Structure 1
Amino acid sequence: MNKSTTGLLLGSALVMGLAGCASSGSQSSGASSSGDSWYSSPFVCGLAGGLIGGGLGYGVSSNDDEETGAAVGATAGATAGALLCSGGDSREMDSDNDGVPDSRDECPGTPAGVAVDAKGCPIDTDGDGVPDYLDQCPGTPAGVEVDSRGCPLDSDGDGVPDYQDQCPDTPAGTQVNALGCPASLVLRDVNFEFDSAKLKSNAEQTLNDVAEKLNSNEQVRVRLEGYTDSVGSDSYNKDLSQRRAESVRQYLISQGVSADRMEALGFGEQNPVASNDTAQGRAENRRTEVHPLGDDGKVMDRTGQNGSSNQ
């Protein structure tokens, strides 16, 4: 057998072997994530390609060019072999099947079916740190602190989130309006001298508590509403209730509450809360109420709408 025939047979055998290895490496790449099988190594494939190229170059060269032919063939074969077998690594792994390969996935292990961004992380539309698929309160305003469900914090549990609550730390069970403040506060222990707007001494402790609450929640504005029973004329009772509401306001100012946070309004015998036919009922109707005001200067009810009474 002459040199040419020997070289061609050797080269053909090596070509077939390399092609088989490359094929096996390609088929195995989807099932193995290690990438360290011998047939998927560019070094091993390059070495095999060099042998193939060298054999072919030697076989087809003349006697005078054997070394040159073998060298050129080896170089070309090594390059081709490395490129051919590196196909086993061309398919990048995507362990969680989210469409982002592991090499670029910053959030591996994303649950199946969850929409992700270009980094492989679950989408968080409102940017509150809780991904959409876990967020029970989507659309939270930017910068609002949320809990693990993605809902704004409500520290006092009154149903009004902290970022909207103008009266934090409301006692448990207290009915509040849309501002997080008590819907209304009736100052039943605030009494006046007979037929007068002068406060009795027992009213001071109640008003001191009111002043403390207002001073601790400086964003809250209130309306002080005065009421009387039905004894006397309508016009006289309305004037008396106005003077009494203003008297309460002046006392709260003396306790440090800013004057521009309070307004006083007398309603006389309007809106009774009990019957004026009995002494007990008339006593209940003689009262002062404190109502939080909304941004529009109107009394707010629990739903955040304009109060239906006294408007």
Structure 2
Amino acid sequence: MTDGQSPRKRAQTSRAGSRRVNIQAVADGAGVSIATVSRVMSGKGGVSEPLAERVRRAAAELGYRPSFAAQSLATGATRMVGMVVPNLANPYFYDVIKDVNVAAVADGYQLAVADANEDPRAETELSESFLHKLDGLLLMSPRMDVPALRAIAQATDHLVLLNRVVPEVGIPTIAIDSMSGMLELCGHLHALGHRRAVYLGGPEHSWSNTERLRGIRQAGSFGLDVAEVSAGGTIAAGYDGAEKAWSTRPTAIICHNDLVAFGALTRLQELGVRVPEDVSLTGFDDIPFASYGSPALTTVAGQSGVGAAAWGLMKRLLAGHPQNEISLVPAHVVVRGSSAAPRAELVAAE
């Protein structure tokens, strides 16, 4: 069409006062059909590059923004993925969510996040809801049982697991090597001279807690005896469990994660117990606050790259490339001021 008007001018005429530029205005501006505009804007292909560039230029000049609902109906895709996490009160999950989101947005996707509040049944329900609405699903440290996880996996080809390994279900997975990280932490304490410790355990249904317990129990092979006290994954859990842990008079308290360690630290201070003079205290995850405590927290780091790697798996699934990958991200001990050699008299009393 060569009426002498620019695409912007033609759009102003076609809009007739409308505040939103529609697809017809772009088609008129580029001199093509609505179907051609739809194909170009949805990325379907089948349009020559010069013609596609003409459509994109007209859309840019007009300020056209495709209708999300219309695109979804046309392509069958929402360009959105869901992520279910067990507890948004844990800063560790925020770091992973942020990394997934940054990578997803860069690829033109949006991320919807839901909190299951440590409830396996709610987690399953949220996951099923996302399956019916979104293009893919990422499950972060899921607490649901294996049959529920298998049912989710059978309902979609676009499922990625983070921080839980379930080989028998066959879901592409990226996870931190919690067992090795915990074993290394126990080795650090043993090298300092500790022989009697207590583990403040994490949530009952947590795979990470199971893996960290594996590391704890293997530590007995080199002489670190670790008792176990149930706690949870929150600051309150650490606070509530600290007195029971201290009552056994360990020289070290090993916590499921950094939040538990901070709760335990507060309660120990109330009890007049000094860290690390009277007892060493360690966490896990190396959340941003870990280096700012008083004392700064000895912990285990390993989450770097987990979010981006998880999105990489999801991106390949969405592109129609099946994945069977199970990858473990190495974890390592970060030594700070909350761990030290036990006092000589404490060692002598063992």
Could you tell me the TM-score, scaled by structure 1's length? 0.28
Instruction: Answer 1 or 2: which has greater helix percent.
Output: 2
Larger relative contact order, structure 1 or 2 (CA cutoff 8 Å, min sep 6)? 2
- Whichever of the two has the greater Rg, that structure is 1
Could you tell me the TM-score, scaled by structure 2's length? 0.26
